[in-house]
Structure 1
Amino acid sequence: MTERILIIDDDTRLSAMLRDYLRANGYGVRAAATASAGLADLARDPADAVILDVMLPDLDGFEVLKRIRAGSDVPVLMLTAKGEETDRIVGLEIGADDYLPKPFSPRELLARLRAILRRRAGPATPGVLRFGRLEIDPGSRAARLNGKPCDITGHQFDILLALAESAGRILSRDQLLDRVKGIEADAFDRSVDVHISRIRASIEDDPKHPRRIVTVRGAGYVFARRQDDEG
């Protein structure tokens, strides 16, 4: 089945170029030039991924992303002409799956798009990981705490899964970047910190004093086993 991509960008020349390029690579593509048109399009016909520009004429991309995340976990690749670290951090914190500064090559965008779509599909990994009240299901790519779904993005699920599969072992930021493809290597390791903060907010009883995902100063993070994991 052809995967459907929605582009929300007021640069009509760029959208047309991307539409032609992605269609040539086997995707179904449609485009909207305003935030309101893009949100209406997405509500009318769900997409498999959204390419979202930060600078739009009616709403900025961050607000659009918030509205998308209010009702959908569709993968979102954000574009910006600014390329500033602050914008990347904000986008990732709100729930973007990846971030690509302009100008970019169509080949790089295609690679990133394929990466977030692969993460959404996920590998056919059997077995639910259980840690006390926390369940991590690689098959459905879902995490649950006390039986309730955790509010994390696909990218954050990948980080959580990588940490859980290595429970008790310290993983550096570089190791997490290697395991979770798609985070831009030069997005400075702080992008990992943002994702970890979001994960903690979803799985920790007290995110400010985490007991599950623990920071090891100067080394990275460790997914800590606890006494209540057994049984």
Structure 2
Amino acid sequence: MHHLLLIEDDVELARLVSDFLQAQGYQITSCGNTQKAKRLLLAHKFDLIVCDVMLPGSSGFDLVRQIRQQFKGPILFMTAQTSVGAQLEGLELGAQDYLLKPLDPRILLAKIKVFLSAAAQTPTVTVLQNHNLTVDRVSGHTSVAGQDICLTNAELQLLLALLDNYGVAISRERLFREQLGREYDGEDRTMDGRASRLRRKLQAVDPHWNIRVVWGQGYCISYAEATTADSTEHST
């Protein structure tokens, strides 16, 4: 049975969502603030988090910033904040989706099923290594040339998908379905932003890494071997 953490300060809404999801076979633990959420995360293993944004004390955004290295499962924001800026901030923090209230609980259930299913499809090889890039699928620990890099959960999932298909472009449509749980509408730039941030983090350590957009095909990760000029420069 999957164990979900619901962080929602609206007591009646939390009860309704909990009752609905429990009826669907999920174990639900709920709380109304980020301090208690952090204590629960230390005490229990959760498979997925559903989190409000506007919470007493500190926000759901603040919570995700603090736990993103600790918690590697899917995170769904569920909030009444409808601004594009708020939605982008939530997605950039590494959440799988940003759901707007009022929300039909059947939509929430569908999203939960998609992301839990994707999280369960973990390949047997747990540590990926390509050139000087190493990624542990389980812990999320990522390093380039022996130097640790800090990735959000969303960036980690994108990197794993690209490395699993090294040298082959992955379409936006596929990434939207598998990592955002929705169809690409032809305009959403969410995945572009994630690819750009991931590229900057890799290149900050080793500029030979690149994530590029292949026209008409999608995203592709590559590593440019050091040239003779590069070697000469580094040896002087």
TM-score by length of 2: 0.78
Cα deviation for residue 109 of structure 1 reads 0.9
Cα deviation for residue 66 of structure 1 reads 1.2
The whole-number CA distance in structure 1 between the counterparts of 2:125 and 2:45 is 28
8 Å CA contact 1:127–1:138 kept in 2: the answer is yes
The whole-number CA distance in structure 2 between the counterparts of 1:148 and 1:112 is 35
> Which residue pairs with 1:22 in the alignment?
21
Percent identity of paired positions between Structure 1 and Structure 2:
32
TM-score by length of 1: 0.79
> Which residue pairs with 1:224 in the alignment?
222
Q: 1:168-212: CA deviations, max 9, x gaps?
A: 3444423432443525746952211222133224432369x7742
8 Å CA contact 1:173–1:189 kept in 2: the answer is no
Cα deviation for residue 15 of structure 1 reads 0.8
8 Å CA contact 1:34–1:57 kept in 2: the answer is yes
Task: Note closer, same or farther for the CA distance 1:117–1:223 as it changes in structure 2 (3 Å cut).
Answer: same
> Which residue pairs with 1:102 in the alignment?
101
- The SS at the match of 2:21 is helix
The whole-number CA distance in structure 1 between the counterparts of 2:211 and 2:173 is 17
The whole-number CA distance in structure 1 between the counterparts of 2:47 and 2:183 is 21
With 125-134 and 50-59 compared, the bigger mean Cα shift is at 125-134
Asked which structure has the greater CA Rg, the reply is 2
With 213-222 and 12-21 compared, the bigger mean Cα shift is at 213-222
The whole-number CA distance in structure 1 between the counterparts of 2:18 and 2:218 is 40
- The SS at the match of 1:55 is coil
1:1-231 paired onto structure 2 within 5 Å: 2-126=1-125, 129-136=128-135, 143-146=142-145, 150-182=149-181, 185=184, 188-205=187-204, 211-216=209-214, 220-227=218-225
Cα deviation for residue 30 of structure 1 reads 1.4
Give, as a single letter, the amino acid of the residue that structure 2 aligns with 1:57.
Answer: P
Cα deviation for residue 152 of structure 1 reads 2.9
Q: 1:61-90: CA deviations, max 9, x gaps?
A: 111211222533243111121233221211
How many residues are paired up? 226
Q: Gapped runs of 5+ residues in structure 2?
A: 227-236
Task: Note closer, same or farther for the CA distance 1:77–1:204 as it changes in structure 2 (3 Å cut).
Answer: same
Tell me the C-alpha RMSD between the 2 structures: 3.1
8 Å CA contact 1:35–1:56 kept in 2: the answer is yes
8 Å CA contact 2:212–2:219 kept in 1: the answer is yes
